[in-house]
Amino acid sequence: MNPIPLQANITAVTADLIVVNLFEGVAQPGGATGAVDKALGGRIAELIALGDCTGKLGATTLIHTFGALPAPRVLVVGLGDRQRFDLQAVRVAAAKAIAAARQAGARHVATIVHGAGVGGLDPQAAAQAVVEASILENYAMPRQGNRPRSDSRVETLTVVEFSAAQLPAVAEGVRIGRIIAESAVMARDLIATPANIATPTYLAESAQRMAAEVGLRCTVLERDDAAALGMGIFLAVAKGSDEPPKFVILEHNADRADELPTIVLAGKGITFDTGGFSLKVNAAGETMWRMKYDMTGAADVFAVLRAAALLDLPLHVVGLTPLCENMISGHAQRPGDVYRGMTGKTVEVISTDAEGRMILADALAFAGRYRPQAVVDLATLTGAIGVALGPKAAGLFCNDERLQERLLAAAAATGERLWPMPLYDDYAEDIRSDVADVKNSALPVKNAGVSTSAKFLEYFTEGYPWAHIDLANMAWADPGRPLYPKGATAFGVRLLVQFLRDWRP
């Protein structure tokens, strides 16, 4: 989708479909919607009176103009209760409008900026929200088959602003929204690509190409490099696969690392997860075909670094992504094995299906080299987080109150919700090993699995402020919801970009 800002009266815009809006409880539309209603001879007001156009959040009404306007169709989308109206309502309205436009077969859509007028929202923020939601809702997963797509997608989105004075702010919002949403789309494509294609090598090469395009420094550590660094815990997971592991390091503003705050993001990159000898069962939430998505954390980190570069954020941002498969073979790790990481700490393997925390252990140890102001890791780590929260919010574990506040503020601003989870010292007792420093899974495994996994990760942090985001319950939408069509969501990209944009020393 190509979003274009335009200063104009929406009634004069030529497109396949124009989008206006309506608050719930409004009997006589005003503003841009009122202008369209007048051009249509009061048809919108008539539909309101009939109860066919309610203004409920996300509700849409399609009206044919029959030559009364340059556009053949008008879509009225509800903004909901005026008292509860915010940027998330803008996103939902914009997403629902694009879904309805696609259903109508529209290729060129023109929309007003929901909330930038009587809604009282900042025009730049509102335009950004409209564009992000529109691009994300317009998404369709990549196909590998020969059959053509049966669904249409919007190709052009004209973002219309009546006020010439507000157009620069709207244009900037369009620019920012496009960068962030297209970065998330890149991550979605990687996550949705089958694991026989999206191998560690494929992902590393994708990161290298993206880095060259946007000006990031990219370093790829091979198996021997990781071994020389002592990353024995990461390499233990990779042992069972014929696919070579990769450890990708992306850096934004690498040449200014000494003068800018350093933030490290670490993403779990298991390109396919069988569970190893602790084989996954075909039960609810553990369907193995979906385990191609187990590198969501890594794909999200790629996307956030891309956005950081294109937005030219005044930070030194480092992305660390250990990439490998978790497979079964004569070389694979076994329950009961013990492995040593790069800081000398050892892990007893209780479950080979608790592999994500193992590869992140060495990534978190490596993060200490950058003397960061903060480290955030994100991973599809546990099924337990879905039991706790459902598909409503990702789990947040944090050892620093200020860092937690920053992340929760970014979550509130973007609508990518986080819920703080406990990181009590007691959980350390549950992962204490008799033969190693820690074990990678508590027994019985159903007890506090989400918090003990986070406690395991904390053990490998190196004295910096740290947060862990478990997004296993949010990484795949089925069924879809506004902004997140069925499939890979890239949840966390918008959240972390906002977190970086808001960073102040």
The pLDDT of residue 280: 87
CB 22 within 8 A of CB 74: no
- Regions of the chain short of the pLDDT cut 70: 149-150, 282-286, 444-447
Query: Residue 382 half-sphere exposure, CB side, CA atoms within 13 Å?
Result: 31
CA distances from 258 to 252, 262, 316, 371 (A): 13, 9, 9, 10
Closest by CA to 204, choosing from 320, 94, 71, is: 320
**Strand ranges, E, within 42-93:** 60-64, 73-80
Name the pairing type of β-strands 217-221 and 246-252. Answer: antiparallel
Measure the CA–CA gap between 185 and 5, rounded to whole angstroms.
21
- CB burial readout 296-330, b (16+ within 10 A) else e: bbbbbbbbbbbbbbbbebebbbbbbbbbbbbbbee
Measure the CA–CA gap between 112 and 119, rounded to whole angstroms.
12
Name the pairing type of β-strands 466-470 and 394-398. Answer: antiparallel
What residues are annotated to the active site?
280, 357
Closest by CA to 69, choosing from 130, 157, 9, is: 9
Region 2-161: CATH code: 3.40.220.10
The pLDDT of residue 75: 98
Amino acid at 111: T
| 183-501 and 2-161 share a CATH fold | no
Measure the CA–CA gap between 51 and 383, rounded to whole angstroms.
43
How do the domains of the chain map onto residue ranges? 2-161, 183-501
Measure the CA–CA gap between 113 and 458, rounded to whole angstroms.
43
Helix (H, G, I), strand (E, B) or coil at 418: strand
Find tokens 């203004």 and name the residue: 55
Closest by CA to 312, choosing from 176, 122, 460, is: 176
CB 303 within 8 A of CB 183: yes
Measure the CA–CA gap between 435 and 194, rounded to whole angstroms.
38
The pLDDT of residue 144: 82
Helix (H, G, I), strand (E, B) or coil at 66: coil
How buried is 6 (Cβ within 10 angstroms: 0-12 exposed, 13-18 middle, 19+ buried)?
A: middle
**DSSP H/E element including 110:** strand 108-112
Measure the CA–CA gap between 159 and 1, rounded to whole angstroms.
12
pTM as predicted: 0.97
How buried is 445 (Cβ within 10 angstroms: 0-12 exposed, 13-18 middle, 19+ buried)?
A: middle
- CB burial readout 216-225, b (16+ within 10 A) else e: bebebbebee
Match domain 183-501 to its CATH number in 2.60.120.380, 3.40.640.10, 3.40.50.1100, 3.40.630.10: 3.40.630.10
C-alpha torsion angle, residues 188, 190, 193, 194 (rounded to 10): -130
Per-residue HEC secondary structure of 162-230 comes to: CCCCCHHHHHHHHHHHHHHHHHHHHHHHHHHCCCCCCCHHHHHHHHHHHHHHHCCEEEEECHHHHHHCC
Measure the CA–CA gap between 124 and 157, rounded to whole angstroms.
16
C-alpha torsion angle, residues 47, 51, 56, 61 (rounded to 10): -40
The pLDDT of residue 285: 47
State pLDDT tens for residues 438-464.
999 997 656 678 999 999 999 999 999
State pLDDT tens for residues 147-196.
776 678 999 999 999 999 999 999 999 999 999 999 999 999 999 999 99
Measure the CA–CA gap between 135 and 140, rounded to whole angstroms.
10
Find tokens 């306007």 and name the residue: 69
The dihedral sign for the CA sequence 461, 462, 463, 466: negative
The three-point CA angle 340-421-183 to 5° equals 80
